[in-house]
């Protein structure tokens, strides 16, 4: 009896809001179109007064999100219960002991039917350390009219080389992301994985023992493709500063030909048609298929993005927080999030939802792409790896397959050893 009283009063104290004694869980979210806030309120209702979920917004870009979370967690900030983590960040936070271990029964439930790549991003040291929430992947978008005029059969897999040739012959743009940003690493990783290699050949928790695969045959092949695209002359005038948004607006222009980008471009074009700023013939001309191949005979490994839900090791309500992540990542909520906010589900079953099929005519392509997608390198030293890549592979037109991979690998290894600045 005494114990129950103590427990109840301590829960009330921890809740801090006095709202009927139910503890309040704070979910740090990446900015979106309000979907996570809505899911938080749905899960609060579903919890039947056991807990409440409040959302707190992180910075816009994923670097900023990571920087804020790492500093707060390093200071053992107990105000964080649940976190929306961009896919590369789980290893670093887990290795540092910032993530509460996912209970095994929950782990098996939340990974059932989830794309293997997405599960991999939430796994560190063979244990699930975060709950997959939604998964993103890049598709190859094409203008049907341009592909047809170029005589490119888009029902068959296409290579980067074919795209350059087709865009050149039609004098249209091949839009990709050449900016010195995370998108460059996303691209390079997809190229290396598609060529059968990995950015990190031999992983380790010891920074001195990480072996990079940048200078392998696959790495050199990837660098060659990156250079050829960057120097092709069909990537637009400001390729070295072009982001996903630049690509999306290029693809809406009359010069559009081909583009690699995340599925949000579809929702964006639709919204613009509704707002009357884009003619509806433009999205009607959009075609989509799997990410381009590096070698004609090898299937591509498309980029993988998305968000996993981590529970802070310093949370006062770890059990409730894990219960909440299971609710948040339910198929129902993933379907809601996908149809309203345009963020694709990490659970394959969601793609059979008729509403999802209606909003995303390319749902099956996204599912197929996610099934083949390869994560970016999973390492606690991700910021060094991606920072080094961005420094050496930018601008893409100056990448030299004989030199750049070697230099990048040497730089990253030196930075990891603490012998060089980044």
Q: Which of 78, 204, 249, 341 binds another protein (CB under 8 A)?
A: 249
Which residues 256-315 are close enough to bind another protein by CB under 8 A? none
Structure tokens belonging to residue 291: 């990410």
Per-residue contact string for residues 361-390; x = within reach of another protein by CB under 8 A: -------------------x--xx--x---
CB of 92 to another protein, least distance (A): 6
326 belongs to the binding site for another protein (CB under 8 A) = no
CB of 330 to another protein, least distance (A): 31
Q: Which residues contact 196 (CB under 8 A, 6 or more apart)?
A: 218, 298
Structure tokens belonging to residue 98: 């910032």
181 belongs to the binding site for another protein (CB under 8 A) = yes
Pairing outcome for strands 127-128 and 123-124: antiparallel
Is the CB of 93 or the CB of 374 nearer to another protein? 93
For the four alpha carbons of 336, 102, 186 and 366, in that order, the dihedral sign comes to negative
237 belongs to the binding site for another protein (CB under 8 A) = yes
Sheet of 139-143: strand order equals: 173-175, 256-261, 139-143, 286-289
CB of 96 to another protein, least distance (A): 4
421 belongs to the binding site for another protein (CB under 8 A) = yes
77 belongs to the binding site for another protein (CB under 8 A) = no
Pick the closest to residue 174 from 227, 263, 236, 223 (CA basis): 236
CB of 73 to another protein, least distance (A): 9
Q: Contact 377/189 with Cβ under 8 angstroms? A: yes
Q: Which of 42, 180, 270, 407 binds another protein (CB under 8 A)?
A: 180
Distance CA 115, CA 304 (A): 10
Is the CB of 183 or the CB of 333 nearer to another protein? 183
* Phi (first) and psi of residue 232, to 5 degrees: -70, -20
Q: Which of 179, 221, 227, 367 binds another protein (CB under 8 A)?
A: 179
246 belongs to the binding site for another protein (CB under 8 A) = yes
Distance CA 143, CA 312 (A): 45
Which residues 78-97 are close enough to bind another protein by CB under 8 A? 92-93, 95-96
395 belongs to the binding site for another protein (CB under 8 A) = yes
Let me know if 419 is exposed, middle or buried by CB neighbors in 10 A (0-12, 13-18, 19+).
exposed
CB of 180 to another protein, least distance (A): 4
419 belongs to the binding site for another protein (CB under 8 A) = yes
Q: Which stretch binds another protein (CB under 8 A): 1-9, 35-43, 231-239, 321-329?
A: 231-239
Is the CB of 86 or the CB of 384 nearer to another protein? 384
Which residues 98-127 are close enough to bind another protein by CB under 8 A? 98
The single residue listed with the structure tokens 């899911």 is: 39
Give yes or no for a cis peptide into 381 (omega within 30° of 0). no
398 belongs to the binding site for another protein (CB under 8 A) = no
The helix or strand, by DSSP H or E, that contains position 174, with its residue range, turns out to be: strand 173-175
Is the CB of 42 or the CB of 180 nearer to another protein? 180
What are the start-end ranges of the E strands in 58-159?
Answer: 82-86, 123-124, 127-128, 131-137, 139-143
For the four alpha carbons of 149, 152, 153 and 158, in that order, the dihedral sign comes to negative
226 belongs to the binding site for another protein (CB under 8 A) = no
Size of the site for another protein (CB under 8 A): 31
For residue 345, what is the DSSP state? B
CB of 110 to another protein, least distance (A): 25
422 belongs to the binding site for another protein (CB under 8 A) = yes
74 belongs to the binding site for another protein (CB under 8 A) = yes
The three-state secondary structure class of 313 is coil
Residues that bind another protein in the complex, under the rule CB under 8 A: 63, 67, 70-71, 74, 92-93, 95-96, 98, 179-181, 237-241, 246, 249, 380, 383-384, 387, 394-395, 418-422
């Amino acid at each position: 009896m005494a114990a129950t009283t103590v427990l109840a009063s301590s829960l009330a104290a921890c809740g801090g809001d006095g709202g009927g004694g139910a503890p309040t869980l704070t979910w740090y979210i990446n900015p979106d179109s309000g979907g996570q806030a809505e899911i938080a309120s749905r899960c609060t209702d579903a919890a039947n007064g056991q807990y409440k979920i409040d959302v707190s917004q992180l910075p816009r870009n994923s670097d900023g999100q990571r920087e804020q979370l790492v500093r707060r967690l390093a200071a053992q900030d107990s105000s964080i219960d649940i976190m929306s983590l961009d896919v590369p960040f789980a290893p670093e936070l887990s290795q540092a002991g910032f993530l509460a271990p996912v209970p095994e029964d929950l782990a098996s439930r939340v990974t059932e039917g989830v794309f293997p790549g997405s599960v991999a991003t939430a796994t560190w040291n063979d244990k699930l350390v975060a709950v997959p929430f939604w998964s993103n992947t890049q598709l190859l978008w094409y203008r049907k009219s341009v592909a047809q005029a170029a005589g490119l059969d888009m029902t068959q897999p296409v290579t980067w080389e074919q795209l350059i040739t087709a865009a050149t012959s039609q004098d249209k743009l091949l839009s990709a992301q050449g900016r010195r940003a995370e998108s460059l690493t996303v691209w390079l990783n997809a190229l290396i994985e598609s060529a059968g290699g990995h950015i990190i050949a031999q992983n380790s928790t010891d920074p001195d023992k990480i072996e990079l695969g940048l200078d392998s045959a696959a790495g050199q092949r990837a660098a060659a493709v990156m250079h050829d695209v960057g120097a092709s002359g069909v990537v637009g005038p400001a390729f070295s500063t072009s982001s996903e948004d630049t690509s999306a607006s290029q693809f809406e222009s009359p010069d559009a030909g081909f583009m690699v980008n995340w599925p949000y471009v579809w929702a964006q074009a639709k919204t613009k048609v509704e707002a009357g700023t884009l003619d509806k013939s433009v999205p009607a001309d959009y075609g989509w298929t799997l990410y381009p191949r590096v070698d004609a005979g090898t299937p591509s490994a498309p980029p993988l993005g998305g968000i996993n839900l981590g529970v802070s090791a310093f949370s006062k309500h770890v059990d409730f927080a894990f219960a909440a992540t299971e609710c948040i990542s339910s198929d129902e909520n993933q379907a809601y999030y996908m149809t309203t906010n345009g963020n694709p589900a990490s659970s394959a079953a969601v793609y059979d939802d008729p509403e999802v099929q209606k909003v995303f005519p390319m749902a099956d392509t996204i599912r197929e792409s996610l099934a083949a997608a390869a994560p970016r390198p999973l390492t606690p030293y991700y910021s060094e790896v991606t920072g080094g890549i961005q420094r050496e592979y930018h601008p893409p037109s100056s990448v030299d397959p004989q030199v750049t991979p070697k230099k990048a690998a040497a730089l990253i290894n030196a930075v990891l050893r603490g012998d060089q600045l980044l």
